[in-house]
Amino acid sequence: MLEQLLIFTRGGLILWTCKEIGNALKGSPIDTLIRSCLLEERSGEVSFNYGAYTLKWTFHNDLGLVFVAVYQRILQLLYVDDLLCMVKESFSEVYDPKVMSYDEFDERFRQLRMEAEARGEEMRKVKVKVKPLNGVKKQGKVLKPEGGNKKESDGDGGDGGDEVKGNVSSLTNGNHKMEDDDDCVVNGKENSGGDDNNVGVDVSKLAKLRSKGVRGRGGLRKAESVGSNKGSSKVEPPKKATKKNRVWDDAAPKQQEKLDFTDSVDENGGNDSVEVAADQGESMMDKEEVLSSESESDDDEQRSDEKPEAKKKGWFSSVFQSITGKANLERTDLEPALKALKERLMTKNVAEEIAEKLCESVEASLEGKKLASFTRISSTVQGAMEEALIRILTPRRSIDIMRDVHAAKEQRRPYVVVFVGVNGVGKSTNLAKVAYWLQQHKVSVMMAACDTFRSGAVEQLRTHARRLQIPIFEKGYEKDPAVVAKEAIQEATRNGSDVVLVDTAGRMQDNEPLMRALSKLINLNKPDLVLFVGEALVGNDAVDQLSKFNQKLSDLSTSGNSRLIDGILLTKFDTIDDKVGAALSMVYISGAPVMFVGCGQSYTDLKQLNVKAIVKTLLK
């Protein structure tokens, strides 16, 4: 049963809601759909889940309308897509920009809905007739207790109705859950007729089908396998806590013990050399960025020169269309332009699946739109993509760190930042850069050396601390990082530091015990900012890194609301000339804004992300 069907303009005014099913929706699913899906350029997806509801939508790009259908997630209504298309077509005939209420549409909608439901039933009947045998073997399965999928699993002959329904749901191999309360009601009549047949076939062919049943089992097994995967991953044998030292042939065995060279000198940087604090001038965070002054028209002309290989006939018709400007954009028209755009994005080091999703989203927003006169299809697509990219890269929340630091200072507690990331991306170096920048803004900083694994990590931070003349809290090697961080924060509260920067060891996203240690650190200390450090050189792996980090942090969190990655620090930005796609992949997959960009190896090489420049470079 549909919960609600809405029609609204892109500007936000609701034009029509279905008054028959006037159920009030729990929460605000429509607003959440807009904020987390449509504005995040995920409009190419099939559906959106919110609480107990699933939402499906379609656009009418020419008139600027959005059609959204809301229904219960556990139901599995096959006719919703159909219904949305039909509603779209008939509403666009009635639509008038000046009219604000469409009461006469109620009647039309009722007809359309009955039509769509009837069509849906027919499809189901066809499916049932085609494969009555498959449903039979499910008797065996229904008896088995399944992980919460089927509640009424009586498994006797009278349950023939359930079997058939279960069969239908396993056929449509998807992400939908198996409970079909709705189907019960709709299919009640037909099942009573088919029941006898099923039971009759049952007994005789049961044995034959059990052997064939392996393929069908796969459908239901999917739901179970997800659960079992989780179990198996946790059953992995725990890795050894300490590494055994490698024995080379020619090394004398005595020299193996003294590998821990931490001096037993006091922690505050030593009294031997009083170094002057490193002052290398203003950090680039505070400098204005000088943008290149190329004009937009030059780019257009260059690009038009680069495409002589288009077929003559195609070129002529597109020119003709661009002059008259009356054609509605179809998928087939958009495909070549979008494909070219996707290739261009991938040459700029954007991850492949991100480029794919983006192109789908732009396609969804352009389909059916009228071409303005004197514009080519490619320039329309380019414009839409540019807007979409600016929207993704613009942060969703404010990234004013200074303001957050001041807010924490008022509450008399230090502002804690944790740097996480895989090996070798530049966490310690960029931590020092951030400390330098904060120091320039008269904020007192303290470093916490929670990388207790890599040789030399503590000394590295100690050197930075000495050069910047800021306190550092360290406990040497082979200590629990979570405990070190906790003590560091307590120390900072005691001596009144405004900010604590916590350095962690690099870890691969697949390394289960290390990820567990990381989430323990974050759960125990509840930092204000979890900063993921990623290098700009990374390609498709960015997607994997970020999604796995986020997933592990949310899976292994102990309290109710899990802390995910709050911000991204993009490093080694000076090494890529124009292949800036990693920024886009990371922001898209995690939703976190890019807070800093590291563009060099000295203290001043830290700047903010310039959204317009990046978008220009990506689309050049």
Partner 1 sequence: MDNLEDLKIVVEQWSNQGIEYLQKIPPFQLYAAIGVLLLTTILLLSFRLARRTNSNTVLLSGLTGSGKTVLFYQLRDGSSHQGTVTSMEPNEGTFVLHSENAKKGKIKPVHLVDVPGHSRLRPKLEEFLPQAAAIVFVVDALEFLPNCRAASEYLYDILTNANVVKKKIPVLLCCNKTDKLTAHTKEFIRKQMEKEIEKLRASRSAVSTADIANDFTIGIEGEVFSFSHCSNKVTIAETSGLNGDTIQVQDFIREYIKP
**Which stretches of the chain bind partner 1, using CB under 8 A?**
6, 8, 10-17, 30-31, 34-35, 38-40, 64, 100-101, 282, 286-289, 390-392, 394-398, 400, 402-403, 405-407, 440-442, 608, 611
385 close to 337: Cβ distance less than 8 angstroms: no
Nearer to partner 1, 396 or 486 (CB): 396
* Nearest distance in Å: CB 43, partner 1: 10
527: Cβ–Cβ under 8 A, 6 or more apart, which residues? Answer: 416, 417, 418, 502, 563
Instruction: Give the largest Cα separation in the chain, rounded.
Output: 95
* Nearest distance in Å: CB 103, partner 1: 10
d(CA 307, CA 272): 67
Q: Is the dihedral of CA 174, 178, 179, 184 positive or negative?
A: positive
CA 10 to chain centre: 24
* Nearest distance in Å: CB 226, partner 1: 32
* Nearest distance in Å: CB 404, partner 1: 9
Q: What HEC string does 523-589 produce?
A: HHHCCCEEEEEEECCCCCHHHHHHHHHHHHHHHCCCCCCCCCCCEEEEECCCCCCCCCHHHHHHHHH
Within 10 angstroms of residue 110's Cβ, the number of other Cβ atoms is 12
Using alpha carbons only, how large is the chain's radius of gyration in Å?
A: 30
Nearer to partner 1, 57 or 71 (CB): 57
26: Cβ–Cβ under 8 A, 6 or more apart, which residues? Answer: 51, 52, 53
* Nearest distance in Å: CB 443, partner 1: 9
* Nearest distance in Å: CB 542, partner 1: 21
Q: How many CA atoms lie within 13 Å of 6's alpha carbon, on the beta-carbon side? A: 24
* Nearest distance in Å: CB 372, partner 1: 16
Nearer to partner 1, 13 or 247 (CB): 13
Within 10 angstroms of residue 179's Cβ, the number of other Cβ atoms is 21
d(CA 38, CA 365): 10
**Coil/strand/helix, residue 448:** strand
Nearer to partner 1, 82 or 386 (CB): 386
Nearer to partner 1, 30 or 546 (CB): 30
CA 270 to chain centre: 46
CA 277 to chain centre: 42
Nearer to partner 1, 392 or 489 (CB): 392
In the numeric block, the tokens 């006797």 are attached to 156
Nearer to partner 1, 12 or 193 (CB): 12
What per-residue string of b and e applies to 3-35 under the rule 16 or more CB within 10 Å gives b? bbbbbbeeeeeebbebeeeeeeeeeebbeebbe
Nearer to partner 1, 8 or 473 (CB): 8
DSSP 329: P
Which pairing describes strands 529-535 and 567-571: parallel, antiparallel, or unpaired? parallel
The type of residue at 492 is A
Nearer to partner 1, 97 or 253 (CB): 97
Nearer to partner 1, 366 or 420 (CB): 366
Nearer to partner 1, 13 or 207 (CB): 13
**249 vs 55, 252, 259, 500, CA distance in Å?**
65, 8, 18, 45
Nearest to 420 by CA among 412, 431, 410: 431
* Nearest distance in Å: CB 546, partner 1: 19
Nearer to partner 1, 15 or 518 (CB): 15
* Nearest distance in Å: CB 115, partner 1: 25
d(CA 539, CA 536): 8
d(CA 458, CA 312): 66
By CB atoms closer than 10 A (0-12, 13-18, 19+), residue 604 is buried
* Nearest distance in Å: CB 560, partner 1: 19
* Nearest distance in Å: CB 290, partner 1: 11
* Nearest distance in Å: CB 289, partner 1: 7
d(CA 350, CA 348): 6
* Nearest distance in Å: CB 407, partner 1: 8
Nearer to partner 1, 51 or 64 (CB): 64
Nearer to partner 1, 222 or 287 (CB): 287
In the numeric block, the tokens 């804004």 are attached to 593
294: Cβ–Cβ under 8 A, 6 or more apart, which residues? Answer: none
Nearer to partner 1, 15 or 564 (CB): 15
* Nearest distance in Å: CB 17, partner 1: 7
3: Cβ–Cβ under 8 A, 6 or more apart, which residues? Answer: 21, 23, 25, 53, 70, 71, 72
* Nearest distance in Å: CB 79, partner 1: 24
